[in-house]
């Protein structure tokens, strides 16, 4: 049995909703260590020269005990830094935790492992001494596409750095690392850690402060329907909610989102009035890239959520509107939308039909399968 690491000389209590990347950034900043050095001292990096996988976003697995010991947390506190507590209610987490054998891409598209959204005001902290020094939380649920609003500050989440224009904590390959540029110490937890091209040897990272509202572009107002939807989604992720109810609803959102994107703009009238431009831009960009390069065309997946929180909010609101229809109205909506969609066998549908079969309610599965059989 491997020896457990010694407790670190100083610890930090996890902030409400904080994720593993956020705590390790704040703790390494407090101890004046690079994240990589902290990973080694807390059991997250198991051998010299290895890397700390983004898979730890999902669950700590056999590293839980060592990490909890080193950081002076209870195992329950340590586990709550990951997405594991939501796995029963949110099928993409469980499917990423238990991928099919020999699957080339093990991470479900409805879990962000290659970047994260964020709220600048959350990163700024609450004004306490400890958060003035080390920043506020990088929340773990920002990794879920269905979280698009910061309910504490009533604003859409951001996904990009205003300086380098890349997504926050960005990687080219999903799940490849827990944090970008982890060997580099000295960065504040709220600074952008993205590598930029054309930089000097002494500056290999962007370094922009993501907790500054001054540099952030303006965002649209949150509509009442989007606020209600985000509240409902948060309630469904609550441990008091029946897992089957939550799982079925999230699956319904995913299936309807894929249909909306694949047939856009046929379903525009189901989305919030005046906000659909963001979804227009997202779908147009996907189609344009697919037309420009063969590899982009081969990777096009209509069941993938937008990176933009605003576009995702519009998409999910349309999906929720479809799910709320009476059965005859839903069937009619599918009848008008599906003829413009790709064939059912197209790879562009991704895992849509798999999720429909495994996690949807019987009623939704029957209605969608009947419509697909008739029109695809």
Give domain status of residue 21, yes or no.
Answer: no
**pLDDT < 50: residue spans in the chain:** 1, 104
Q: What was the pLDDT predicted at 375?
A: 86
- Spell out a b/e string for 103-130, using b for 16 or more CB atoms within 10 Å of the CB, else e: eeebbbbbbbbbbbbbbbbbbbbeeeee
Domain annotation covers residue 219: no
Of 57, 311, 25, nearest in space to 186 by CA:
25
What's the confidence (pLDDT) of residue 205? 85
Give SS3 for 158. strand
Q: Is residue 348 part of a domain?
A: yes
Does residue 296 fall inside a structural domain? yes
Please report the pLDDT score of residue 1 as a whole number. Answer: 44
In a domain, residue 76? The reply is no
The total number of structural domains that make up the chain? 1
- Cite the beta strand spans of the chain per DSSP E: 149-150, 155-156
Residue written as token pair 């859409």? 156
Instruction: Provide the β-strand partners of residue 150.
Output: 155
Residue 293 falls inside a structural domain: yes
pLDDT of residue 360: 97
DSSP strand pairing (155-156 vs 149-150): antiparallel
Task: Select from 39, 18, 9 the least CA-distant residue to 182.
Answer: 39
| CA–CA distance, 141 with 83 (Å, rounded to integer) | 7
Distance of CA 192 to the CA centre of its chain: 17
In a domain, 133, yes or no: no
pTM above 0.85, yes or no: yes
With b for 16 or more beta-carbon neighbours within 10 A and e for fewer, the 25-62 pattern comes to bbbbbbbebbbbbbbbbbbbbeeeeeebebbbbbbbee
**Can you give the pLDDT at residue 156?**
98
Residue 235 lies in a domain: yes
Place of tokens 């009947």: 370
Parent domain of 282: 224-375
Angle of the 309-323 helix axis to the 327-337 helix axis, nearest 10: 130
Tell me if 19 sits within 8 A of 173, measured CB to CB. Answer: no
């Amino acid at each position: 049995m491997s020896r457990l690491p010694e407790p670190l000389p100083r610890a930090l209590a996890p902030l409400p909703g904080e994720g593993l990347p956020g705590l390790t950034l704040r703790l390494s900043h407090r101890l004046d260590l690079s994240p990589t050095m902290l990973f080694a001292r807390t059991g997250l990096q198991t051998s010299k020269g290895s890397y700390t996988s983004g898979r730890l976003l999902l669950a700590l697995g056999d590293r839980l005990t060592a990490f909890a010991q080193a950081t002076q947390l209870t195992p329950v506190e340590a586990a709550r830094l990951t997405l594991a507590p939501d796995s029963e209610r949110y099928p993409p987490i469980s499917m990423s935790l238990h991928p099919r054998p020999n699957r080339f891409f093990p991470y479900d598209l409805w879990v962000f492992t290659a970047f994260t959204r964020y709220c600048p005001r959350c990163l700024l902290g609450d004004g306490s001494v400890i958060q003035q020094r080390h920043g506020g939380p990088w929340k773990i649920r920002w990794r879920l596409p269905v979280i698009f609003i910061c309910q504490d500050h009533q604003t859409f989440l951001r996904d990009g750095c205003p300086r380098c224009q890349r997504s926050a904590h960005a990687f080219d390959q999903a799940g490849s690392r827990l944090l970008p540029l982890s060997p580099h110490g000295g960065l504040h937890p709220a600074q952008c850690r993205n590598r930029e091209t054309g930089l000097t040897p002494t500056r290999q990272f962007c370094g922009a402060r993501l907790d500054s509202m001054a540099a952030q572009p303006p965002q649209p107002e949150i509509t009442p329907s989007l606020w209600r939807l985000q509240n409902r989604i948060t309630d469904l992720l609550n441990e008091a909610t029946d897992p089957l109810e939550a799982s079925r609803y999230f699956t319904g959102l995913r299936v309807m989102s894929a249909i909306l994107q694949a047939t856009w703009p046929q379903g525009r009238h189901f989305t919030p009035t005046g906000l659909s431009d963001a979804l227009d831009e997202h779908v147009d960009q996907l189609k344009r890239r697919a037309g420009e390069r063969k590899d982009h065309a081969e990777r096009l997946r209509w069941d993938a959520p937008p990176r933009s929180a605003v576009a995702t909010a519009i998409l999910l609101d349309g999906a929720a509107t479809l799910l709320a229809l009476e059965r005859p109205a839903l069937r009619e909506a599918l009848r008008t939308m599906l003829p413009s969609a790709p064939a059912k066998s197209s790879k562009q549908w991704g895992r849509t039909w798999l999720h429909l079969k495994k996690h949807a309610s019987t009623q939704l599965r029957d209605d969608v399968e009947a419509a697909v059989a008739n029109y695809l």
